[in-house]
A = this chain, B = another copy of it.
C-alpha cells in the first residue's frame, strides 16, 4: 500500500522482514502519523500484537509467522515462541494458522514466513484483479469498515479492486462509512484511500441510505465469515446497507478470500454474534456520549442473508451465492 513517511511516498505492506528485523506500520498512530515500528525478537512482536500496533486478522497471522522467524534466527525454542505468540489475541483464527504453518515449514523460517505473507498478498491482488472490472469511470462506490491493506498485509479485500482500478487509471468516487462504533472507515479506510490518491468522502453511517437511493452504483465490503449458503457475517451495519442497496437495485459485493468461507456452517443463523463492551459505543476516544449511567448494546457483527448479495469477489473469480456450497478450500 502507498504510505507517506516523512513526506516521501512509499509502497509498503502492513508488516514485512527487513535486515533481520520485523517491520510494521504502527496502526495505533493512524491516521495522524505513519510510523514504522521495528522488532528484533518475538517477544516484541507478541507485545505489538497485544497492543494492536499490528492488527487485522490476516496481518496478525503474518506478523506471528515473522515472529517465529525472529525466534529461529535468534536461536530460540520455536515451540516456546509459538506458545507466547498464540496467547496474544485468542480469537484471531489467522494467528494460529500462521503459527502452525511456520511449525510445519521450519527448514528456512525467514523464507517460510515471507512465503506465508506473499501468498496472502497474492490472494488479495487476485481479488483486486477479479473485482476491478466492476469499477467503471465515474463509478460511485460505497464501502463499510476497513477491509483494506492494513488488515491483510497488502491490497486488502474490499479495497483491492479499488487499488487496481485506480492504478489502471480509472476515476471513481468512494463513500466511506465512518463505521461506528470503532470508526475504522473514518480512521483506516479513509487513510488508505487518501494515500492511494482515490477520491472519497467520509459519511456518517446514517447517510449511506440517502446516497444509495440517489448516487451510489456499487457496494463492495469485506466479510468475517461466510456460511455454506452464502450468508455473510461482517461489521455491524453491513446488513442494513445490503437491504437498502437491494431495494435500490444497487449491486452489493463481498470481497473475501476463499479462507473466509466456512463450509462447516450451513447458514447465517449458526454464526454467533459477538457482543462487545458498551464502552465502545459510550466513548469516542476520550469523549463520552450519553447521560451518566447510560447503557449501550454493542453487537460487533451482523449477518447479511445471501439473497441481498450480488456476488463474492474471490481470488478464483466472482462467485454467485448459489455457487458457494460447491466451493471447497
Question: Which of A's residues lie within 8 Å of B, judged by CB?
Answer: 30-32, 175, 177-181, 183, 186-187, 190-191, 194, 200-211, 213, 235-237, 239-240, 243-244, 247, 273, 281-282, 284-287, 289-299, 302
Give the nearest-CB partner of A239 in chain B.
B209
Task: Say yes or no: A290-B31 contact (C-beta < 8 A), given A202-B295, A202-B296.
Answer: yes
Given the interface pairs A286-B287, A289-B183, the reply to whether A205 lies near B204 with Cβ below 8 Å is: yes
Query: Residue of B at shortest CB range from A183?
Result: B289
In the bound assembly, the distance between CA atoms of A289 and B186 in angstroms comes to 6
In the assembled complex, 10 residue pairs joining A and B whose CB atoms fall closer than 8 Å, in A order, are: A179-B206, A180-B205, A186-B290, A186-B294, A187-B290, A190-B291, A206-B235, A209-B237, A209-B243, A243-B243
Copies in the complex: 2
Question: Given A178-B180, A202-B282, A247-B243: A291 and B191 within 8 A (CB)?
Answer: yes
Is B273 in contact with A210, judged by CB distance below 8 angstroms?
Answer: yes
A178-B281, A210-B239 given. 4 additional CB < 8 A pairs?
A32-B292, A178-B180, A191-B290, A209-B237
Query: Are A290 and B210 in contact, CB atoms less than 8 angstroms apart?
Result: no
The answer to whether B291 and A194 have CB atoms under 8 Å apart is: yes
Q: Please, how many angstroms separate the alpha-carbon atoms of A32 and B292 in the complex? A: 7
How far is A187 from B239 in the complex, measured between Cα atoms in Å?
Answer: 26
Q: Which residues of B contact A298 (CB under 8 A)?
A: 203-204, 207
Q: Identify A210's interface contact among B190, B291, B299, CB under 8 A.
A: B299
B296 close to A203 (CB less than 8 A): yes
A45 to chain B, nearest CB (A): 26
A175–B31 touching, CB < 8 Å:
no
* Chain B residue at smallest Cβ distance from A194: B291
Tell me the bound Cα distance from A186 to B297 in angstroms: 12
